Structure formats: C-alpha cells, structure tokens
Structure 1
Amino acid sequence: MKTITGLLSLLLLAGCNGSKAHEQQRSIKAPWDEWYFTFSTPKALPAQVTLVKLLDTDGYGYVFRTIDQPQGKSVGTWSQYIGKGYSPFNKAKSPPQIIKFCWDSIIDKKVYETTLFFSQDTQHKMVSSEPDWANPKETYYFRYMVIGLAPEGKVRVWLQNNGNPNLLLASTQITTVSGNKLVMCKNVTKHPDGYVYYGETPEFIKDKKYPYGSW
C-alpha cells in the first residue's frame, strides 16, 4: 500500500496533463463521457481552491489551475443537497483513484493541502445507474462529486444522489495538512499578503464561536 501510495503521489506531483501511468492502470469502463467534481463551503465561511491534481482509473493524470470555485449556503452543518452537478472546468474521463488539491481557507487564514484516496466501491458506484428521479425515461449516473471545505480544514466528499440526500463517501481516505507539512502546496496561495474577511463574513461570524458549526 505504501508503494502504491508513494507512486500515485509522485505521479500527481509530476502533474503531466494527459499522461498515462500503465503500471497503476485499473481501468473501469464508464458509460458516460465525463464525470464532474465541484467544491462547496458553508455560508459566509469562504475558501478558494488554487491547484488540483487528479489520477483516474485509466491511469491518466490531470492538472487543474482554472477551477470552478466553492459555493455554498449550508449553515451550522452541511446541507444534504449541496453541489452544482456539471462544471465547465472540473471534469475527467474515468473515475478517480486520487485527488490532491491546494486551498486557501480564508476563514482559517491558512493554506491546506488535501489528498483524497477513493475506494473501488466509490469507483463502481460512479458508473452505476438508475432511472432519473425527474424523468424515469432518462438514465441517472452517479457522476457528480461534491467536496466540502469547512473551518478547521475539515473536508468531506459526497456523490449527488438522483434527487435524494447526497451519498457520503465514508470509505474515502482523507488527509489534510498545513504549515511546514505542505509539499505540493508550499507557496501556493492566492493571498500572499494575508487574508482579509470580506462580504457577509464579518457580520455572519459576529458573536459566533469558531468553527461556526459542526462540520
């Protein structure tokens, strides 16, 4: 496991867009052309994703620098229906093996580096289907992933669930580091001069106790 983990990390750090790692190939035939991932934050607790690297089950590596940024309205705890579905930027051809990304937690005033390792259960769920809740004559595929970014560097991952509450991907291995433990994300930030609260954040957090909810 350590060897595989190390190799995947090296592949992601190398970050060649469209490169293929035959040694780690475990292809899963997808019935769709693309799947999508979007980010969400709680209401008025902002974060900004700056760099994403992804390795899919066909062994292809992707690098994302233009990223569909987090949006969300959850208050106190995560809503069961967060996520936007399609994204013009955050997409890949086959289900993910690993996603590694850098993000500025503006509410925490620090940079985080998060790594997500996905189980085969998640990969197989993403290529499964059922009748669409809004139109049973259409087919729904579980290809819309949501990544939640909350205070204290807390990260959760779901699949949108065909009109039902999101499916929490509890089997995903999530590792988040900051400070001197940053590797890929060292010196990666959109706020090199520091963080300033803006918009509705100052009023929203007034008289509330950090981390402003249970995430």
Structure 2
Amino acid sequence: MGISRLKAIILFILYGFSLVSCQNKKMEEKYSWSGTISAPQEYPMEIYSGGIIANGFTYGFDAIWGTQNTGWGNEGGTMSVETQQMEIPHRLEFTWYSLVERKFFTGKWDLDQENISRLFKEGFIDQDTKKKTTYSNFVVGLAPKGRVVLWINGPGNQKEVGVFQAHDTIITQEKAYENAKYMLKEGFADRMLNDPSYETFKPELKARIEKEGYPSPEIYDAFREKYNWKPVVLLPEGGEWIDFGFNNYNGEQENLFGESLKENTYKKRAVPKFCGFYWQDKDKNRYAVWIDSFNEKEIFDLFQKSGKEKNIDLTIKINSDNSAATISLKSENEELPVTKAKIRLSRKIE
C-alpha cells in the first residue's frame, strides 16, 4: 500500500470519528424546559397520563393535573423538575378524558427533533431584557376528537411544532390506576360540566354554551389555516410605532419590536385573535392600544374574502389623541373594514 493511499485512509477514518463526534454533540445539546397543558375553554379535558420524552428524562403528566380548559393555546400550570438541563425531546405520549365527549383518547407520536432543535438554537430577543433567549416550555394542546397540537413558548413567542391525531380508547374502573379512578365514577362528567360549585365554566361561557351549543370540533383545524399578512399601524404625523404583540387563533404568538418591527414583512400566519401595541406622539407622549378580541366570524370571513394568494395588511389607524381607532384588512385594490372588534385605548401614559 502506498503512503499516499494510507494517508487518505487515515484521514477518512479521522473524518468519520469527527462526524460521529459532531453528531453526538448535536444530540447532546441541552436546554432548560418544562411542560404544561392547553385545552379549549368549552372543552375541558381531564388528564390521565402522559409524557414529553427526551433521552434520560421524561416530563410526566398524570391525574394530579386535574381538569384543564385555560383556552386554546393558553398555558395551564407547570410543575418544577429536579433536572435543570435536558436534551430536546423526541417523543410525546398522552392519554386523557374529554368531559364533553365522554371519551378517553390516547396516542404516542415521534417529534420533529431537528425542527425543535433549530428553533431552540435560533431563539429570539426578549423585549424586557433586550438579550437573546430561547424557548423554555412545551405546551400540549388537547382538542375534541383526539386532536393534539404541540407548541413551544418563551416570553412573547409561541410556535407550533407538532400536530397529531389520537384515537379513542376504553379505560375501566378496574383498569384505572388508583388516583385516576374518580374519572370513572358514575356522573363525574355531568357534575364537572353542570354543577356550578365546580366552576369548570365561567358564568358567561356557560350561558353562551347553553344558548349556542359547543363549538364545532372542526374549528381547531380551521384555526390552523394561514394567510400572508403583516400588521400595519397608521399614526398621527410625527408618531412613532414602538412594538406590536399578537396571539393567533392557532395558538401561535409573536412579539415585534426593534429590528423585528423594522423588518416587519408578510408571513404565513394564522388569523389574529388578540393584538396590542405602544406608540408615542411627536412630543414623546406614550400611548397603548389593545384589540382585546376580534369577532371570530367577522375576522375569519374577512380573511377568507381577502384570500390566501394576496398580501394582506392588518391596518390599525389611530387618531391624534389616541381616543379612537379604525381597523381594516387591506389587500391589492381592496379594503375591508373590521367593525366588531373590542378595542381599548389608553390615556397618555405618565
């Protein structure tokens, strides 16, 4: 064997070791993260068991989490864990009881580790600290008919990283573990849904359900439809736009400020559910504007009418003393007024 060929083989072997080392290092990257539950307000879910699973660590869920219905995309509680740094999880397992549907659902799913790892690495700038940070929480969304969505979140930011389908299952009193047997008691779901002493529903939500019925389970698919839009704020002469935070119906959340506000561009986003921002006038007086909620039917109809093929400006125009705002969707050759949103405007912020 010639010397040059021997060198080539040695280099190949060294490269192989280097590649394996890099891959192992990549998989061993660790972050501090925890987990929580999200379920629609109208569809409370009772947690039976589950886990967000990484190499050497499982963030577990069981009946101690109880009934969850904080609102779609909204965090429930969290529980502290002893391990401070964990690898990116590779699997999600979950079993729960849907009180309205009177069914147990269960499933096991592989996670897109590569995408989640990329997002953790990219991170984002925290508006409060002005420093780069990253995501710190996984949110497991449980919706009717066994729909499951997984989000990751951090200050002012939440992104969808997985959508899954569970299947219904049967769990009996005999099969259930001790702390979960209460779910199988006769009349449990009826008590949780109808007995005011349990406070599962706020009075106004209960009244709406009694009047209109439960939302169609299919809306949690419709919530994920995306349009190419960006926010646009029109201010009085000399006014300066400071930031823009918003939550979308699909549970995602963004916070634009500084460079991200300057670079504000059209992106595929779900329909907005809430938004708010600060601005200052030419004399440096500061004001706030909050669109606490859009009318769901109106805003979806307007986005659908604008179309997925067009660039859409969610336009908010403010008058000189921050006492009135008008909202519209602007696309090429068309402007559609938004008339049913609930808007709050601040006085001058001292």
TM-score by length of structure 1 reads: 0.65
Extract unaligned runs of 5+ from structure 2.
Answer: 1-23, 221-350
The structure 2 residue matched to 1:144, chosen from 137, 141, 151, is 137
Secondary structure of the residue that 2:212 maps to in structure 1? coil
Secondary structure of the residue that 1:191 maps to in structure 2? helix
CA distance in structure 2 between the aligned counterparts of 1:44 and 1:89, rounded to whole angstroms: 30
Q: Which position in structure 1 is the counterpart of 2:126?
A: 132
> Which has the larger share of strand?
2
Q: Which position in structure 2 is the counterpart of 1:36?
A: 34
Extract unaligned runs of 5+ from structure 1.
Answer: 1-24
- Counterpart residue type for residue 192 of structure 1: L
Deviations 1:121-144 (A, max 9, x none): 11332344332122113x321121
The structure 1 residue matched to 2:89, chosen from 84, 96, 108, is 96
- Counterpart residue type for residue 116 of structure 2: T
- Counterpart residue type for residue 41 of structure 1: A
Q: Residue 90 and residue 37 in structure 1: after superposition, are their counterparts in 2 closer, same or farther (change >3 A)?
A: farther
Q: Which position in structure 2 is the counterpart of 1:192?
A: 184
- Counterpart residue type for residue 127 of structure 2: W
Q: Where do residues 113-132 of structure 1 align in structure 2 (5 Å cutoff)?
A: 113-119=106-112, 120-132=114-126
Deviation at 1:72, TM superposition (A): 4.5
Runs of 4+ in 1 over 3 A off after TM superposition: 59-74, 84-87, 89-92, 186-190, 200-204, 209-213
- Counterpart residue type for residue 29 of structure 1: E
Q: In terms of Rg, which structure is larger?
A: 2
What value does the CA root-mean-square deviation take over the aligned residues? 3.3
Moved more, 100-109 or 148-157: 148-157
Task: Indicate yes or no: 2:165 matched with 1:168.
Answer: no
Deviations 1:57-111 (A, max 9, x none): x35456543654565543xxx45xx226854269872221001011111121111
TM-score by length of structure 2 reads: 0.42
> Which has the larger share of helix?
2
Q: Residue 40 and residue 62 in structure 1: after superposition, are their counterparts in 2 closer, same or farther (change >3 A)?
A: closer
Aligned residues: 175
Q: State the structure with bigger RCO (CA 8 A, min sep 6), 1 or 2.
A: 1
